[in-house]
Structure 1
Amino acid sequence: MAETSALPTDELHDESDEVEAAGPERLIYFSDAVIAIAITLLALELPVPAENVHGNGGVLHFMRDHLTEYLAFLISFTVVAMHWLFHQRLFRYAKGLTGGAVRWNLLWLLMIVIMPFATKLLTSKADAFQVQFITYATVQVLAGLFLWQAFSALQRSGLLRAHTPPLVISDTLSWIAAVILTFAASIPVALVTHSASLCWMLLPAVRFALRFVRPGPR
């Protein structure tokens, strides 16, 4: 006990600084692992020809019949990859963590791991387009909102490094905002037409419009 109390205060501060600095790295590594698993699960859900499919023609016919599933996989893969890039670009500048940031990050990861289920539901043969589509779009909207809130918690707590470039932050947040707005806008459209997924093609245009707004967490 005497030796512990005799430790210089500078050394104690150094140890606490090291613990604080290690926090963001652990969260980033954990998030990377979860995203890798989610992408793997997406690929595992891809339909493959069964034993009753024979020959080149049979395989090509099978693939044409399941083109919707393959397209949904590419969309989901792209969205998950974008979220990974957003997370990397934002959290690389974190110098510590708050409980709020961790909780929002876990909710964001929950949406990421739900994405394979939402993708499979979207392409299932169930005759419930609105429910299938809205569930998928809602997962994307919530994922964007949760990631935004996770970073906002860091910024409000002053846990960004001094050299954090404002342009990178604003550019990344504008992409997240574009994802949120694009998928959110497609939800009411799905109530009137089965072509609501075409709204997702407007993502680059929405991002282009938002680049002049320079959104940032409040």
Structure 2
Amino acid sequence: MSDDVAPEPGIRGLSAERTKAFVDAVVAIAMTLLILPLMESVGESAGHDHTTWEWLVDQRDQLQSFLISFVLIAMFWMLHHRLFVSVQRITPGLMWITVAWMLTIVWMPVVTALTGQVADDALQKVLYIGTLVVTSAILLVTRVYLARHPDLHRASRDDLRLGMSIDVSMIVLFLVALAVALVLPAVGYLGLFVMFLTGTVQKLTARILR
């Protein structure tokens, strides 16, 4: 039987392998694009005869944004990768959900450049942290879709429920971080450190889901 044909009558979908490879490539490119503003700034600093220390001081905001975004995209990829390890078939619905998730990932280098190069304002925080909320929300939608289509994967209900609790806790904490960033501008994106509470919030969310 061809790998592009559904294994059972009445089940539509194609092999998930090409989609997994495509997602990995998109995430890798997005993570690479994060470094471009810093690469450009090196040339500009060299043109002004700046020292390495002067470059580090001038680009401290961009460096902070780069490191935070790099870690966040890596974290999102790991969550998505762990989920899709069990996915065997892809339907049009799951494909479009995945495309929407990738859209938020490729948007991250843009909002990262904004946070490091454009004057700080409330809308900038909404765009950056709001993107993180949407990325988590789409991952949650993916798990719900898979829970309703068990023929597409090998994941157990317990695994999906655990993943949902993680997604919900991340959404809640990103919203808390956004509120902190808007109410306390001096704190800014450091409010994202509330993500260290993910484990605690996840346990509470898991109990509610059960």
Structure-1-length-normalised TM-score: 0.80
CA-CA distance at 1:174 after TM superposition = 3.3
Listed as ranges, the matches of 1:1-218 within 5 Å are: 16-17=6-7, 23-46=15-38, 47-48=41-42, 49-54=45-50, 58-126=51-119, 128-162=120-154, 164-165=155-156, 168-194=159-185, 195-214=187-206
Identical pairs, percent: 29
Cα separation, partners in 2 of 1:102 and 1:80, compared to 1, 3 Å: same
Measure the CA separation in 1 of the matches of 2:156 and 2:146: 15
Name the stretch that deviates more: 199-208 or 111-120. Answer: 199-208
When Rg is computed on C-alpha atoms for both structures, the one with the higher figure is 1
SS in 1 for 2:52: helix
Deviation readout 1:29-71 (Å, 9 max, x if unpaired): 11001001100100122232332224xxx21122122111111
Gaps of 5+ in 1: 1-10
The alignment covers a number of residue pairs equal to 202
- Does structure 2 conserve the Cα–Cα contact (< 8 Å) formed by 1:20 and 1:95? no
- Does structure 1 conserve the Cα–Cα contact (< 8 Å) formed by 2:132 and 2:174? yes
Q: How big is the alpha-carbon RMSD for the aligned residues of Structure 1 and Structure 2?
A: 2.8
Name the stretch that deviates more: 28-37 or 12-21. Answer: 12-21
CA-CA distance at 1:144 after TM superposition = 0.8
Cα separation, partners in 2 of 1:185 and 1:76, compared to 1, 3 Å: same
- AA paired with 2:109? P
Measure the CA separation in 1 of the matches of 2:150 and 2:160: 14
Measure the CA separation in 1 of the matches of 2:100 and 2:207: 22
- Does structure 1 conserve the Cα–Cα contact (< 8 Å) formed by 2:105 and 2:135? yes
Cα separation, partners in 2 of 1:104 and 1:13, compared to 1, 3 Å: closer
Name the stretch that deviates more: 16-25 or 142-151. Answer: 16-25
Name the stretch that deviates more: 165-174 or 96-105. Answer: 165-174
Structure-2-length-normalised TM-score: 0.83
Gaps of 5+ in 2: none
Measure the CA separation in 1 of the matches of 2:2 and 2:121: 59
- Does structure 2 conserve the Cα–Cα contact (< 8 Å) formed by 1:170 and 1:216? no
Measure the CA separation in 2 of the matches of 1:133 and 1:190: 7
SS in 2 for 1:191: helix
